[in-house]
Structure 1
Amino acid sequence: MISLAKQRVLVVGGSSGIGLAVAQQAAAAGAEVTIASRSADKLKEAARSIAGKVETAVLDTGDNASVEAFFANREAWDHIVISAAQTASGPVRKLPLDDAARAMDSKFWGAYRVARAARLAERGTLTFISGFLSERPSASSVLQGAINAALESLARGLALELSPIRVNAVSPGMIDTPLWSKMDESNRNAMFERVAGSLPAKTVGQPSDIANAVLFLMVTPFATGSTVRVDGGGAIG
């Protein structure tokens, strides 16, 4: 059984979806968990679903001064997970440049700012959430693939620069998260059924599937510079 007893875990983007699942599993493993996001209301609601010791922190990864101040005033973390991102999608020639820049700022530069400012224990871990489009591009989501590839490359480089801190990425495929909640329910279910049928695993993923991989990386001392793909076989199917 995985134990994170008395270890301090920060989940950036921990108020919903994958980040919340990571926080829930880390707390269940005994960690002292802090969840951070831009919304105090969402954090408060999320904290009620986490059993164990949990704190909340309002943090905007787009504001470098705030990111630096957040880490300057806290002791080193044992583990940091970055799952926060808002990315617009669409073909390169149709997606407005401002939207593309905001997507890159949210998912890549937001993670970069946190990595740059973060204070981690000597053998702590830093984990990014990327996505399988880094390996299997989509003609309608070119930017997402490029951002995810950049994150995975950043993880490999930081694994060298920050050693012996371990830096890794987890690459999800289609995951059933609140990201899809704006879709009509019947359309959403039809999409999930269609995607599941196309995957070798014959199912879409759950946030807990990704959290399992994140916790594996936290407690495996020999894992660094790695990208763990949890995509139902999406990159090979």
Structure 2
Amino acid sequence: MTTTLIIGGGSGMGRVLAAALLTRGESVVIAGRDAARLEHAAASLPDGDVRTRTVDLADETRVRELYDFTGPVDHVVTTAVDVSGAYLPVAGLDPRLARDAFDIKVLGPLLLAKYAPGLVKESLTITAGFNAHRPAPGGAVIATANGAIEALVRALAVEIAPIRVNAVSPGWVDTDLWDRLAGDDRAARLSGMAARLPVGRVGRGEDLAEAFIAVSRNGFTTGSVVHVDGGQRLV
């Protein structure tokens, strides 16, 4: 049975991906920092082989212990992000919060790659973002982190081969992340972006789940960034 480890699987795109894989009859391990959120997510998923594990991607010991818990897996996907300091004007930059964002988006995947050989059979897929190509004021931290991911997958694809390493780069996706980003303005902001996009809507979790599955299963794709943003980086 194919097994996928999903860091960030307790909510958003990661949870939708877990549901899609379970529906395919596969096994999943969902990991994240919040044990209660993981247990709630697991209870809401389709019936199947699902395990949960807490992890802090900035803590090397916890990352190593995560692999000890899972044993060998076929695929690793990380959708984890810390947005608490990722969207602030440079004039109000809090270095501690910026480091937190980089720890999850960049350092975490580096640590996942460090311990992947011998434990990850096929692929590591990292979540980047459209704002590496079309940043907005107040988004320097997240744009830089996502740009770093694009460089990182190319480097890791060479260094930890034959494990394939790729990134999926989403635009705005209608998930619970927007409750934290926009609060009561969520619906208005998402509908405003939908009107601008060439495809006429914002993303859905299912759009990204399909992309993660396609990228991770394609045995001839590595060092690539797949844009699943509805054309957002163009407009």
TM bucket (normalised to shorter chain) is: over 0.9
Select between 108-117 and 34-43 the one with higher mean Cα deviation: 108-117
Query: Alignment partner of 1:60: what SS?
Result: coil
| Aligned 1:42-121 pairs, distance under 5 A | 42-51=37-46, 52-87=48-83, 88=85, 89-119=87-117
d(CA) in 2 for partners of 1:120, 1:9: 15
**Closer, same or farther: CA 55–72 of 1 in aligned 2, 3 Å:** closer
Three-state SS of the structure 2 residue aligned to 1:235 is helix
The 3-state SS of whatever aligns with 1:57 is strand
Which moved further from structure 2: 102-111 or 141-150? 102-111
Deviation at 1:30, TM superposition (A): 1.8
Looking at structure 1, the residues matched to 220 and 71 of structure 2 have their Cα atoms a distance apart, in angstroms, of 25
Q: Which has the higher helix share?
A: 2
Tell me the residue number matched to 1:166.
164
Deviation at 1:66, TM superposition (A): 1.4
TM-score computed with the length of structure 1 as normaliser: 0.92
What's the counterpart of residue 11 of structure 1? 6
Partner of 1:3 in structure 2?
Answer: none
- Quote the Cα distance in structure 2 between the aligned partners of 1:17 and 1:120: 29
Please point out which of 205, 210, 218 is paired with 1:207: 205
Q: Is the 8 A contact 2:128 2:170 kept in 1?
A: yes
> How far does residue 129 in structure 1 lie from its aligned partner after superposition?
0.6
User: 1: distance between equivalents of 2:70 and 2:102?
Assistant: 27
Which is worse superposed, 122-131 or 165-174? 122-131
Q: Which amino acid aligns with 2:225?
A: T
Q: For residues 155-182 of structure 1, what are the alpha-carbon distances to aligned partners after superposition, in whole Å with 9 as ceiling and x for unaligned?
A: 1111111111111000000011111114
- Partner Cα separation in structure 2 for residue 123 and residue 65 of structure 1: 21
CA contact (8 A) 1:107 1:147 kept: yes
After superposition, what is the alpha-carbon deviation per residue over 1:93-146, rounded to whole angstroms, capped at 9, x for unaligned? Answer: 222122212211122112222221235567511000110111112222011111
Identity of aligned residues (%): 36
Check 1:179–1:42 CA distance in 2 against 1; reply closer, same or farther (3 A cut). same
User: Where does residue 36 of structure 1 map in the other structure?
Assistant: 31
| Runs of at least 5 residues in structure 2 that lack an aligned partner in the other structure | none
Aligned to 1:143: 141
Displacement after TM superposition at 1:73 (Å): 4.8
Retained in 2: the 8 A contact 1:9–1:33?
Answer: yes
- The normalised TM-score by structure 2 is 0.93
> Could you tell me how far 1:69 is from its partner in structure 2?
2.2
Write the distance in 2 (CA, Å) between the matches of 1:32 and 1:82.
16
Distance 1:63 1:121, change over 3 A: closer
Q: Aligned with 2:231: secondary structure?
A: coil
Matching residue within 214, 228, 233 for 1:216: 214
Where does the alignment leave 5 or more consecutive residues of structure 1 unmatched? Answer: 1-5
Give the total of aligned pairs. Answer: 231
